[in-house]
Amino acid sequence: MNTLQEDSREIKDDILQLATFRLGEEEYAVEISTVQEINRMTEITKVPNSPPYIEGVLNLRGKIIPAVNLRKKFGLSEKDFDRHTRIMVVDIMETMVGLIVDAVSEVMRISAETLEPAPAMTTGVHSKYIKGIGKINDRLIILLDLDKLFTGEEPDNLK
């Protein structure tokens, strides 16, 4: 077997561990290795002149981290925070960030071969943020690329 065939087989055998969450009716996921913890909604301190999708900062056991409202980041309609709202603390480019999501669903393991590339014409989330779309039974789960979620000048806003 040549090296290309071996590499292809290794990728197909890869198992991805994902943390899934909801924004509106859609289900999204990030690789579990980026998730540090998941918390209930807590007090967020507003920061003047921050981008609209940054709700403010929160104190996580003495460490101040930015809180990003993914609904606003993706241009979705706003929704009041409720008892299901969660803050997923993730590591994006070596910066701790709190991602505010409607609800956290589950941690799952899927085969990498169930992932398909995002269609060229996607609506809602800009396709550059999407690593792929997983098909699990009758569910479609959008796998986000957190490193691409904040590009250009944006990482400076998170530090």
Please state the domain count of the chain. Answer: 1
Domain of 104, in residue numbers: 3-158
pLDDT value, residue 112: 84
Reported pTM: 0.82
pLDDT value, residue 58: 95
| Percent composition of the chain: helix, strand, coil (DSSP 3-state, to 5) | 20, 45, 35
What's 115's domain CATH number? 2.40.50.180
pLDDT value, residue 12: 46
Strand runs labelled E in the chain: 15-23, 26-31, 35-40, 54-60, 63-69, 86-92, 95-101, 103-111, 115-116, 130-136, 139-144
Series of mean pLDDT values for 10-residue runs along the chain (159 residues): 41 79 94 95 94 94 94 91 96 92 93 80 64 87 87 49
